[in-house]
Amino acid sequence: RKEVEQDPGPFNVPEGATVAFNCTYSNSASQSFFWYRQDCRKEPKLLMSVYSSGNEDGRFTAQLNRASQYISLLIRDSKLSDSATYLCVVNEGSGYSTLTFGKGTMLLVSP
Amino acid sequence: DADVTQTPRNRITKTGKRIMLECSQTKGHDRMYWYRQDPGLGLQLIYYSFDVKDINKGEISDGYSVSRQAQAKFSLSLESAIPNQTALYFCATSYQGEQFFGPGTRLTVL
């Protein structure tokens, strides 16, 4: 069974802190990678795609290490509103067929 | 207005009952999915459909069936509900790798 592993947390950080999450995946043939955000009892929403060259969107930076089969998400200057569960998601093949979701990492940002 | 809607949003039913969860989308996407989410287990794929004539089993399809009535509609049925099907169910569409989720249906089987 293809696996996507994440530390469940929770990560408790103060406002303004920098926090990083890692995710490992088992299938070396995986093609595309994403981070989703899920608020409590709500639907997941795409936070960002993860490109081979790494990508940044405001306070969020995602990186991919294919050799070690892990993906990272860095959040700088944490806000209270960043409190959520962050899901690492991997597409196993080409054509965006089906996705494998990690169980998520919970982030709690406190004042 | 929501692009992916699910009905009902909450449902309590009894063991052995048949129940249908409905999903509609206005995004015009061909690909639709049904997932369940249990605490601590993450999202698990039940069924998916790449167009009206294409239905595929996911990793946990036993005890479930689906119907793709139109591009915009994808229904999930539990023919005889059992308590371990108590979960949060999400419908989703996808386009170019991004998945768009409905708000979820919280199902409790007593």
Tokens standing for residue A48:
């960002």
Strand order in the sheet with A70-75: A4-6, A19-25, A70-75, A60-65, A55-57
Residues 6+ apart with CB under 8 A from B67: B74, B75, B77
Contact A101 B99 (CB under 8 A): no
pLDDT in tens, A51-91: 888 899 999 999 999 999 999 999 999 999 999 999 999 98
Per-residue pLDDT of B80-105, as tens digits, reads 999 999 999 999 999 887 899 999 99
Q: Which residues of chain A does B59 touch, with a Cβ-Cβ cutoff of 8 Å?
A: 1
Query: Are residues A43 and B101, on separate chains, in Cβ contact within 8 Å?
Result: yes
AA letter at A33: F
